[in-house]
Structures are given as C-alpha cells and as structure tokens.
Amino acid sequence: MRARRLLPLVFWSGVFLIGIGTFAYALPPKLPKFPELKFQPPKALRTKLSNGIVLYLLEDGELPLLQISATIRAGAQYDPPEKIGLGELLARTQRTGGTKKYDAETLNRKLESLGASIETGMDLESAGVSASALSKDSDLLLELFAQVLTEPSFDSKKLEIERAQALEEVRRRNDEPRAIASRELPRELYGKDHPYGWRKESQTLRSIRRKDLLRYHRRFFRPENTLLAVSGDFQASEMMKALEKLLGSWRGKGRSQPAAVLPVQPRAARRVILYEKPVTQSAIRMGHFGLKRHHPDHFSFEVLNDILGGNPFSSRLFANIRSRQGLAYYAASRFTEPSDWGTFFIALGTKNSTAARAIRAVLAELEKIRREPVSASELRLAKESLANSFVFNYSDSHQITTQQMQLEYYGFPEDYLNTYVPKIKAVTRRQVLEAAQKHLSPEELVLLVVTDPKQLDASLEEFGRVEGRQPD
C-alpha cells in the first residue's frame, strides 16, 4: 500500500474546523506555492560479464555500504504440479542450508562477524538473492553472495526444518478469514490447476527431496538467466573486475530448458462463493480478470483505481463505504499485472450484520464510476498522489538500481522511470471513464465471502447463485 502525504492537510483542516466556533476570525496562514516536483533518477551503468550476466552498477559514496541484488528467471509458477512448494522450499533453504564451500553454521558465523546479511526469495515469476554489508567488507560479502547464488548445498537437515515450517503454515492456513479470502479468490478465477491459482499442500511438500532442489537450481539458476544490481561505496571498474573474478567462470550445467505456463482461460459470468465459518466479521473479495502487463490502458487504469479504492485516504470506497456509511473496517481496490491476464479486485472487511449492505454499496460505486466521469478535483488529487508517492518509492540508490534491473527483467521500456510521472499527469477524465467502461465488469465478478451466513443481513442469493465451499 502506498504511503500518502496528506496527513498535514487533514490535521490543519481539523484544527480549522474546531476553531470556527470561538475564533472564526483566526484563519490558518496561506500555504506557499511550491514548484512542481521533478523526478530525474540517476542512471545506473548497464554492462555484462563475460558469461552473459547482466549487470547494473550505481556508485554512491554517501554511506560506507555495499548492496547487491540478483533477479533470476525462475519462479514458483514453474513448480511441477505434483511438487507445488518446491520453489518456496528452495528459496528458504538456499541461504539457511549452506553452500558447497561453507556449511550452514560457518556461513552464519561469517555473516555475523561482518554484521552482514544475505537473503533469498521466490515469487511467482522470479527468484532473488540479495546481500548487504559495510563496503570495507565487500570482498568477503561478494564471495559469500556468489556462493549462495551459484553453489548452494541445500543441507538435508535444514530442508526438513523449512519443510516442517511450511507444513505448519498449511495446517494453520484457515485460521484467519482474510487469509482464506485472499488465497481462494485467485484459485476461483484461474482454477486450481493453473500456477496463478494453485497452492502448496501437505502431500506436495512431503514429496520434495533435496535432489529436486538441486535439479531446479541447475535448470533455472544460470548466468544467462541472471541480472545483478549493485549500489554503494565502490568504483565501477573495480566492482566489475571483482564480479568477473567471482562469477565469470559460472556456467549453466546441461541444456537450458525453457518453461511453459498454461494460458489463462478467462471466465465471464458472475459467481458467488460462500466459505462458511463461525466468525462475527465477514472477509469479502470481489474480483475479475483485468489487465496484462504492458497494457496500453495501464496509466488511465492506475488513476481510475486510485480514485475508486487504491488511495487509503481519499478513494471513494474509503470515503463512502468505510467513513461515511460505516459499513466496513477496510475497503480497498487493487489490480495485478502478471505476464498473462491479471486481476482487479476489491477487499472488504465488515460485520456480518452489514455484509450485504456493504456489497450493494460496492456494486453501486462500480456502476457509478462506469457511468459518470470522475470530478476534476478527484482526478487532480489522484494524479498528484500517484506522482508524489512514485518519487518517494525511490529514495536511495539501491532502490533505483534494483528498479532499473527489474524493468529490464519484466520487459519495460528503458525510460519508464523518467516517463511515469508525465504519463500519469497526462491522463484525462475521459480516459478514466473509458478505462472503467472497458475494464470494470460488475456482471463478471467472482464474489467470495468468508462468513457465518446465519448472521448476515440478507441472503447472498441476491447477488447470484451461491456455491458453497469448505476451507481446506
């Protein structure tokens, strides 16, 4: 959720209103006009190592730090269907399980002696390894980073520890209604057999062996699949030499195997999914398919979403459903843009006794924003909010360097960071209305509710045929 810088305005408005009764003559001082905020991030040096690793370097001597991040063309979407959770276990064990040169305890001691960190992760479309330390310790940090990236040992004992933790997460995954709603909406949209909709299970986790982790690592962790972002207190020429020495001889083993992901098959009829659970508060998700990555309507849709429910302070869902009507504890809209069809969804948390009213209010807001142009003030506030929050997302050199690396990874144009704000500011009221009419489809929503139906204020049949589910 983006940080918004509207608190000073809210605070001063409140003070002014409180003071009207007794000090009507005391007006707040007129705020000065500030020049338009300009965002021109420094450009990292892009180069390659001899084995094809793409390298982004940004020198920054303000602090005596070194940060390095790798993004690898891998991802949980490439797990074998019978071993869902493989990518997650690999990421958990890649760091904790030691390397070919350093066992887990030795690696821990070396990092602790430096006050350094190395972290590994895996999401749907990529894997990552990151490290940081004081720049005076860069030689050892880079060596440890290279070991974790290229030669993890996936110690069997550490694998069992990580597996046990993952199994416990599966066992407890239905404790929290919001977790059920968030997890099951993609499953209902994409289907349980599609990587975007599947989930790890006890049996898939138990089937994973150390050899599976090693095989997965050989298949995807290869120099031609790797991008590096390095920032901090160093000289670019010296850093290139150090990385070439450590990683230049790294080669993929065997033939690279391209991975294929099933295409998404969008559905087009509204469905109501009820997860019955003895709770006093309902967790509600309402969603349908949205945009693919790089869709030409991205910027107008981003402004639209900010006005509808993306802004946690000024959006219509927040102002009308949460604040004015008091129908929800939280009300927000979000959208995703993976390589295939993404999703648009609305999240609500409300009392069971107001759940149906809250759903009706959301549907009314969807119809309104598709029917009428947004106001000029809404458009101005959304564009300013998005532009300002974008700037503050890149407040240090490593954020900028990593973002430039990931823009290449996900196929965005090289000038994306420089053109984002102008493109947001160019969005018009007409474009927002057209985006709403093209991409918001209340009749196609999957409406998923985790609740106690005996406590609801009205039957969910009002919104469509109800399909019952049991959390499992």
| Residue 38 pLDDT greater than 90, yes or no | no
Domain ranges of the chain: 46-247, 271-469
Identify the architecture of domain 46-247 in CATH: 2-Layer Sandwich (3.30)
CATH fold match for the domains 46-247 and 271-469: yes
Closest CA to 71 of 204, 226, 219: 226
pLDDT > 90 fraction of the chain, expressed in percent and rounded = 83
3-state secondary structure the chain: CCCCCCHHHHHHHHHHHHHCCCCCCCCCCCCCCCCCCCCCCCCCEEEECCCCCEEEEEECCCCCEEEEEEEECCCHHHCCHHHCCHHHHHHHHHHHCCECCCCHHHHHHHHHHHCCEEEEEECCCCEEEEEEEEHHHHHHHHHHHHHHHHCECCCHHHHHHHHHHHHHHHHCCCCCHHHHHHHHHHHHHHCCCCCCCCCCCHHHHHCCCHHHHHHHHHHHCCHHHEEEEEEECCCHHHHHHHHHHHHCCCCCCCCCCCCCCCCCCCCCCCEEEEEECCCCEEEEEEEEECCCCCCCCHHHHHHHHHHHHHCCCCCHHHHHHHHHCCCCCEEEEEECCCCCCCEEEEEEEEEHHHHHHHHHHHHHHHHHHHHCCCCHHHHHHHHHHHHHHHHHCCCCHHHHHHHHHHHHHCCCCCCHHHHHHHHHHCCCHHHHHHHHHHHCCHHHCEEEEEECHHHCCCCHHHHCCEEEECCC
CA distance 381 to 307: 8
Q: Mean pLDDT lowest for which of 57-66, 94-103, 107-116, 387-396?
A: 387-396
Query: For 271-469, which CATH superfamily applies?
Result: Metalloenzyme, LuxS/M16 peptidase-like (3.30.830.10)
Q: Flag whether pLDDT at 93 surpasses 80.
A: yes
Bridge partner list, 120: 129
pLDDT at 261: 73
- Is the pTM higher than 0.75? The answer reads yes
Among 13-17, 43-47, 239-243, 451-455, whose mean pLDDT is lowest?
A: 13-17
Torsion of CA 440, 445, 449, 454, to 10 degrees: 120
pLDDT of residue 256: 62
Q: Reply yes or no on whether the pLDDT at 266 is more than 90.
A: no
Q: What mean pLDDT comes out for the span 1-11? A: 34
Residue 428 has pLDDT above 80, yes or no: yes
Give dist(CA 217, CA 191) in Å, integer.
27
pLDDT beyond 70 at 7? no
Average pLDDT, the chain: 90
Q: Is residue 395 very low, low, confident or very high in pLDDT (cuts 50, 70, 90)?
A: confident
Instruction: Give the mean model confidence (pLDDT) for residues 67-78.
Output: 96
Q: What is the pLDDT of residue 264?
A: 80
pLDDT of residue 366: 98
CA distance 212 to 216: 6
Instruction: Note whether 301 and 435 are within 8 A (CB).
Output: yes
Q: Please, which pLDDT band fits residue 263 given cuts at 50, 70 and 90?
A: confident
- Residue reference for tokens 């209305």: 433
Q: What tens digit of pLDDT does each residue of 175-204 get?
A: 999 999 999 999 999 999 999 999 999 999
Q: Residue 212 pLDDT > 70, yes or no?
A: yes
Of the pLDDT bands very low, low, confident and very high (cuts 50, 70, 90), residue 98 is very high
What is the per-residue pLDDT across 244-260, written as a single tens digit (0 to 9) for each?
Answer: 999 999 998 766 665 66
Cα radius of gyration (the chain): 25
Q: What is the pLDDT of residues 136-182, one digit of tens each?
A: 999 999 999 999 999 999 999 999 999 999 999 999 999 999 999 99
Residue with more model confidence, 262 or 69: 69
What's the pLDDT tens digit per position in 304-359?
A: 999 999 999 899 999 999 999 999 999 999 999 998 899 999 999 999 999 999 99
Q: How many CA atoms does the CB half-sphere of 113 hold within 13 Å?
A: 10
Does 11 score more than 50 pLDDT? Answer: no
pLDDT > 70: what percent of the chain? 90
